[in-house]
Structure 1
Amino acid sequence: MDHKQVSHAILMPVCAASRWTAERYKAEAERRRTLRAERKPLVRDARKALAVARKADPERTKPGTHKAERELRQAQRAVPDPMWLFTAKTAAVVGAAGYVGLPHVPESVWLWSAVAVATAIVGAVVVAVVLAARQPKGLVPTAEERQLLQRLAPEHWREHAEARGLAGTLTGRPELTDAGIVTDVRLDGTWTAAKLRTAADHVRALLGCRSSLRMEIKTGERGGWAVITLRTRSAADGDDLRWSPSARTFGIDTITGEHVTVPLGERLLIAGRSGAGKSVASRPLLFDASDGPTNALVILDLKMVEGRLWDHRARVASTPADVVAVVAELVEEQTERLAVLPKGQATWRPTAERPRITVVVDEGAEIVTAAKDALEGLETLARMGRAACIDLWWMTQKPTIGDGIPKQIAPQISTAICLAVRTPAEARVVLGEDAQAKGWTADELPAPGVAFVRDGKRKPHPINVRFMDDPQVIALPDEPIWHGPQVAPVISMRKPPEPPAAPPAESTEERVLRVVQGGGGPVRQKDIAEQSGLPKGTVSKVVSRLVAAGRLVRLDDGALTTARTEATA
């Protein structure tokens, strides 16, 4: 029993030391891998720079060439060896030194060397423990965040709130998170979260924060409290937002770091002012809508820019006539699907022959202006297309009801994606009348590439959207292009053009003169009545007027002939 206790007492420190050594080895190996990944590109750049310098100076006489050589050597020295190579080199050096020098070392040197090594190890452990204890726990605030944390402290707020018009409010203890600084605010008297939101400029002045720093003021979890959030950092910082087949999400939540997806089968409204990145941000969604045998994409693009990139994967209509024709095909396809939809089945099940169709209106304001005959069909698709698996996505730079979004389509939207817009009114049109009060402040979003997604499930968290550039879209593989049933041309509801005006009716005088002139000689009055079809009384009156006017001449026998001027004319 005593022997086991002694063995255990000896093995425990040895095992602990072994675990510590293994952990340190892994940590050092990871550190070296990270440094190599960071610094090897610098070596490649230095080699390229040296190659250019040597090409321009093959004799290596110029200072620039020598400088490039020095920079390459410095970059190479900065790249550490991998841990296995470092260990092998160390073992080789120690082995060689021991093989050569150990037989000549006196015993006293061995003794004091062992003491020195043991002392150094103990000292190193003590220093490591002290340094680890001094390391700050959690997130390390930046200089700006330290200043804001100090000014959000209750002591500082209480001292300066009244001078800034914020008397009756008091902050709690601020907290630094992955998404910025968050603090609760107690509201006394007549203060509410909405009133504090209108006093945001006073809050900024008290904190002394920069005007471009995004600040959110929302209702707290309890009555009489609000929450102030300063977005000094993003949970998406450092993430690569370039789209790739392995990174096919819509974007990354800047608050939680969650990868956000927008599923197919939703009626979307995608809005954002010019330059907000609307077209580029929608491309990952267009890829999903055109990917696979059971998905088909239709793009109505009167601007003739974005649709041209997708014409190898989508049916593209780029003229008003084409838009009207394609919409008519879609309505006919919808009607046929709903007519054969089995009893008890709520939605169409996409197949390769009849896939899910996503209809994308690239710029809604252009459709409203230039292709009005297609609006009735698009409104029908918005109301009834979901059951037939024909989904409408409406995109616009002008999110106003009537101009950019038809009144019959806006209420049918189930998911809204809003990038930066110009005014709070536009944000309310896209995200709802309660958008501002609930934190959906799209007019404060930075541009480009940041959006809100409101689908009834998500909170008002800004999303850094992924992007696809033009070469990526063009390089995508081809997909079958959808074509629907041929339908008769759409009859325009516009008022038809007026027919050309009929020539003015021939007067009775002109008719009588025409008969007399065509008679080839004197004509009797009864013959004029027969040939002109006029009543005899009317002919008598007209003849009397023409004779009195000198345009007809009555001969002695009563016949009538034209005057000389009429005859010569």
Structure 2
Amino acid sequence: MSHASAWQIHRQYAATAARWTATRWRTEAERRRTLRAERKPLVADARRAVAQARALDPQKVTSIVHRAERELATAKRRVPDPLWLFASKAAIATAITARITLPLVPGRVWLWSAITVTIAVVGAVVWTVARARREKTGLQPTAEERALLGRLQPEHWREHAEQRGLAGTMTGRPALTESGIVVAVRLDGQWTATKLRSAEDHVRALLGARTDLRIQIKAGKRGGWAETTLRTRSAADGDNLQWSPDRRSLGVDTVTGEQVTVPLGERLLIAGRSGAGKSVASRPLLYDASEGASNALAIIDLKQVEGRLWDHRARVASTPRDVIALVDEVEAEMHDRLAVLPKGQDTWTPTPDRPRITLVVDEGAEVLTAADKVPFPVVDENGKTKTVTRSALPGLESIARMGRAACIDLWWMTQKPTINDGVPKQIAPQISTSICLAVRTPAEARVVLGEDAQAKGWNADELPAPGVALIRDGKRKPDPVKVRYMDKAVVIALPARTPWHRPTTSATPALTLVKSTTDTPTAASVPVQADSADARILTLIRQAEQPIRQKDLADQTGLAKGTVSKAIKRLTDTGHIQRQADGALTTNEAA
């Protein structure tokens, strides 16, 4: 073996030994650091106990003082020295022992040994200081967090749990994260995560936590365990939450610090009590829904407050009649798209001519109350005017059930989810994403986030207000999100866009609004949109040699019966076709 090869092997062995030594050093140093953090609070408690015992028995007549002093001495012995101090003591002890037992060793050897030890000690001190400086850039507990970490240690918890009515529970090792302190709690006997959640006041008293500190308790990853989080900090702290075009996310996750977005194409439920920030939280979403050539926004807002901010780039309905007309128009557009959807294609492809439509219902409970049984004057087949009542709910339910395939999405917003039909029964099951800001009661949180919400940690009734939300979409954890703030002035300053309107709006309504009996429409004055369900049905009726029945039209076109029925109703009202006494359909001669 050559000299170079031997030297290389020696270097490899030396590097391996150095890495092993460094790893062992770091492991042992971390172990000692952890034990010191856990046991030093116990020493402080023992010192206080000694002081109390000496105050009670200054003459040391009883054994209370001696017992407290023994416990203090035991607590001190259980606190290990830092590794650098332990290594220094070991080196000094070894040197003294060697000096006593090896008197014949030459002085020069002792000199170089002392120099070597000094260099090693200085190097260890320098390494420790450098490591401490690096650690300062990470998470450093505050005074409050240090106190809570000490009281969450298993030793402290075991000593005080029974006094606080928490016997049968035991904490694991707490960890400081960007969202606060997280600790696993073992549940023995009859304890469950739900029972521990109901005993939150006892936990707070044991920890001495401030009243407004949010404590989240949920089921752990294994049976018999719960996970407790003390929200002493937020990962969103220091983040600029002011909305801007280059910061277009909905908000920031307070646990992970990631930017949270909600993509278009989801059916949303946005809820929150008055003052929780529901309108502000929805503005970044409304911007995304109205931005781009293939996106269109329509807003139903009877309060005429939020909708007015967006009327330069969105279609806004602010009266009951306008609401019903808009819903009818969107529903007709949905049926037309579904009628011409190519075979084998699941969803409509948005284009600038027929974009994705987002229909937003603000204060849904108020809309259902106001836009119900609204009187409409109509003209019948004999030219007589009569009044019928209309409601927006059936059309909204139809859009919620069938709109996704036609790229028409319904967003429902309410601050009263549990009052009457705050969230209609036909619409609630269609919701794919729920955004819940602070609500007043757990019942409201369950309506918005699901019946299993609280059991899984979705406690929207404990959220601070305003501007903090929970987003449940089947993927996210129950981590609060700080939503971005989009000022009204920013909305008003957005570039204007042409609001969406159906190309042939006069053919859309199933009822013809008139001011007098002279307003009866004719087929000549109402064109039929090409490539729509109406056009296909009208063509078949014209091509038929004899009157055709509605059932035959459904069979020949392959359209759904409901689509055919609505199309025939529109064509009849606009005068393109007429229904004979036996129910058969034929074109109107005036057409």
| TM-score under structure 1 length normalisation | 0.63
Please tell me whether residue 435 in structure 1 is matched to residue 453 in structure 2.
yes
Residues 358 and 133 of structure 1, relative CA distance in 2, 3 Å threshold: closer
Cα distance, 1:135 vs structure 2: 3.9
Matches within 5 A, 1:61-460: 131-135=129-133, 137=135, 138-372=138-372, 373-400=391-418, 402-460=420-478
Choose the corresponding residue for 1:475, options 488, 493, 496: 493
Alpha-carbon displacement from aligned partner over 1:327-372 (angstroms, at most 9, x marks no partner): 1111111111111111111111000000000000011011111012
Identity within the alignment, %: 73
CA distance in 2, matches of 1:169, 1:256: 28
Contact 2:332 2:508 (8 Å CA) reproduced: no
Q: Which amino acid aligns with 2:429?
A: P
Report the RMSD for the aligned CA atoms in angstroms.
2.4
CA distance in 1, matches of 2:510, 2:343: 31
Alpha-carbon displacement from aligned partner over 1:150-183 (angstroms, at most 9, x marks no partner): 1111111111111111001111111111111111
Alpha-carbon displacement from aligned partner over 1:449-484 (angstroms, at most 9, x marks no partner): 000110111110000111210110011111121012
Alpha-carbon displacement from aligned partner over 1:251-304 (angstroms, at most 9, x marks no partner): 111111111110000100000000000001100000000001100000000000
Q: Which amino acid aligns with 2:486?
A: M
Contact 1:325 1:490 (8 Å CA) reproduced: no
Residues 189 and 338 of structure 1, relative CA distance in 2, 3 Å threshold: same
CA distance in 2, matches of 1:258, 1:305: 32
Residues 167 and 451 of structure 1, relative CA distance in 2, 3 Å threshold: same
Residues 133 and 377 of structure 1, relative CA distance in 2, 3 Å threshold: closer
Q: Which amino acid aligns with 2:506?
A: Q
Q: Tell me what 1:465 maps to.
A: 483
Q: Tell me what 1:534 maps to.
A: none
Alpha-carbon displacement from aligned partner over 1:368-414 (angstroms, at most 9, x marks no partner): 11012111111110011111111000000111263311111111111
Q: Which amino acid aligns with 1:393?
A: W
SS in 1 for 2:456: coil
Q: Which amino acid aligns with 2:202?
A: H
CA distance in 2, matches of 1:226, 1:352: 51
Contact 1:216 1:229 (8 Å CA) reproduced: yes
Contact 1:401 1:429 (8 Å CA) reproduced: no
CA distance in 1, matches of 2:334, 2:449: 28
> Unpaired runs of 5+ in structure 1?
6-123, 493-569
Residues 128 and 395 of structure 1, relative CA distance in 2, 3 Å threshold: same
Contact 2:329 2:509 (8 Å CA) reproduced: no
Residues 151 and 379 of structure 1, relative CA distance in 2, 3 Å threshold: same
Between the two proteins, the alignment pairs up a number of residues equal to: 376
SS in 2 for 1:453: strand
Residues 260 and 204 of structure 1, relative CA distance in 2, 3 Å threshold: same
Contact 1:332 1:487 (8 Å CA) reproduced: no
Cα distance, 1:315 vs structure 2: 0.3
SS in 2 for 1:437: helix
Whichever of the two has the greater Rg, that structure is 1
SS in 1 for 2:412: strand
Alpha-carbon displacement from aligned partner over 1:408-441 (angstroms, at most 9, x marks no partner): 1111111100000000000000000000000000
Q: Tell me what 2:93 maps to.
A: none
SS in 1 for 2:454: coil
Contact 2:329 2:508 (8 Å CA) reproduced: no
Contact 2:434 2:448 (8 Å CA) reproduced: yes
Contact 1:161 1:206 (8 Å CA) reproduced: yes
CA distance in 1, matches of 2:363, 2:325: 18
CA distance in 2, matches of 1:148, 1:324: 57
CA distance in 2, matches of 1:400, 1:132: 58
Cα distance, 1:134 vs structure 2: 4.5
Contact 2:252 2:482 (8 Å CA) reproduced: yes
CA distance in 1, matches of 2:186, 2:436: 32
CA distance in 2, matches of 1:152, 1:139: 18
Cα distance, 1:131 vs structure 2: 3.6
CA distance in 2, matches of 1:413, 1:458: 16
Contact 1:361 1:395 (8 Å CA) reproduced: yes
Q: Which amino acid aligns with 1:391?
A: D
